[in-house]
Structure 1
């Protein structure tokens, strides 16, 4: 089962386009996706996931399982930055430790989008409330990361208030797009949803492939410089996501029996933010070095998760 999943994942067009993007950089090609197009595609992917999640949520029945699943996800987002902060403090500064801990406690919307495609290939469904949970897991880790930096670092009166950080987390463009689309998908009637189905469903995989090509190009540009930063951060960016993903893949069975939901919980725990957290850290902790936490999440953890991580977490769930 492990080998079949791995082979199928490694040969998916979306992943191969990501690899192509890395090769483009090494070949020093002038191929690139315009920034305006890349932003539109990322917004489209979040819109599609959010809208379809809202449709699924409209068809599902509210239950205690949903409450326990959401609580499980939020608690996960609170625990991960705490224990990773103390691991990172052995080698890195307080500011860098807090920023990296926040990134790994938070989630990657792009990894979530890729996981949706992975589940579709496996013909496994997931619940609509997982989309809402993804948005809810963004802010807690940022708050914990900043709180730990404030607790152990030097007091700085110029630091923004916690309330402004919470507001910034939920006003982040990616969070607003996916939550807004979720609500619209929830309230839309079946006939209205079918009217835009060709846009929300039929072209999704094509846009995902182009987006991952762009992610491959960005990762390729950051990878070389990051490798020079040392072995500790590289190993951390691989080992910690595996630990988080494997533990959640197993423990999630305590709150839900849905294979798709357990997989999504695992991939959210294993992913690392490289959009919302860098934006928040730039405002809250300017001393933290984005040259560390950004390449760790984008150039190491993200490629690992979409190649080897996803088949691993799924295999643990279906054993």
Structure 2
């Protein structure tokens, strides 16, 4: 209960709630798109740099390799786990099933960043190498989702889509800044640390304000989100996140990193995967998969998922 209260009363989460309430009240509050994009770039660069610096301090070891392998398997497998549920219970056709499933196998960078900040503020510090796992988990789910959507035939991957998957902006910036952090180490990071450390929480608050506005407006606008699909958008993160926490614990990650793997398993992409789906499955309903991933799953994870997966990781860690 203390963890839940601390999360709900943290500044980033309260700014998200403020944005959602403003949108629900039909306020004209908005964040200019160019500023929102700039904040997104800043957050990804900051988390990548700090993760790379932490790995440079600790070195590359078996734990990193094992975590990367676990993330890869989770990202590729989760779409196949949720697809039958989307089809049989959600009533989606094959194309929309594949598109939505890809979102739930991939990850939300902002959810991970928020969890890292909330956890870190209470001394529950995620290992720096989990940033590499985050980047690893963005793309395999896209291939799995396309396989589900096109399993009865058709070309699976075009050169344009391959380029979109491998070189989308979030993957390039995350991995690039992670490598830079590894190269420069703690000494090289020190001159730029005032920018990437002191301003991080403030930028995250404003970014989540924008996310709250977007998420609520997406829910209010779409007509494709049925009650069943909305319920699945809550059940999926609980099940997938639990799978991530259990996997992290079994492979020997510490409690914060196991919780982070749970967050990654629970989160759903609303940036990289929608871009890929627009290119490869233009007939899929964008309003549907964005309403589920951004409108329902993202708020659930920000408000309830972060403390839930910490509690799971700490409980399992104590038992183990």
TM superposition score category, shorter chain reference: over 0.9
1:207 to 203, 206, 213: 203
1:161, distance to aligned residue in structure 2 (A): 2.7
Q: Which structure 2 segments of 5+ residues have no match?
A: 316-320
Partner in structure 2 of residue 134 of structure 1: 134
Give the TM-score taking structure 1 as reference length.
0.94
Partner in structure 2 of residue 269 of structure 1: 265
Partner in structure 2 of residue 30 of structure 1: 28
Give the TM-score taking structure 2 as reference length.
0.94
Residues 6-54 of structure 1 show CA distances to partners (whole Å, capped at 9, x for unaligned) of 0110101111111111111122222211111000000000000000011
Q: For 2:158 and 2:313, how far apart are their aligned partners in 1?
A: 37
Higher deviation after alignment, 160-169 or 99-108: 160-169
Contact 2:259 2:312 in 1 (8 A): no
1:166, distance to aligned residue in structure 2 (A): 3.4
1:317, distance to aligned residue in structure 2 (A): 1.1
Q: How does 1:116-131 map to 2 (within 5 A)?
A: 116-131=116-131
Residues 116-145 of structure 1 show CA distances to partners (whole Å, capped at 9, x for unaligned) of 112112212222221111111111000011
Between the two proteins, the alignment pairs up a number of residues equal to: 313
Instruction: Report the 3-state secondary structure (helix = DSSP H, G, I; strand = E; otherwise coil) of the residue aligned with 1:99.
Output: helix
Partner in structure 2 of residue 82 of structure 1: 80
Partner in structure 2 of residue 191 of structure 1: 187
Partner in structure 2 of residue 100 of structure 1: 100
Q: For 1:8 and 1:300, how far apart are their aligned partners in 2?
A: 21
2:239 to 240, 243, 250: 243
1:160, distance to aligned residue in structure 2 (A): 6.7
Residues 161-207 of structure 1 show CA distances to partners (whole Å, capped at 9, x for unaligned) of 35543331121111111111111111114332110010110100000
Residues 35-80 of structure 1 show CA distances to partners (whole Å, capped at 9, x for unaligned) of 1100000000000000001101101132222211111111011110
Residues 97-119 of structure 1 show CA distances to partners (whole Å, capped at 9, x for unaligned) of 00000000000111111111121
Contact 2:63 2:253 in 1 (8 A): no
1:15 to 6, 13, 16: 13
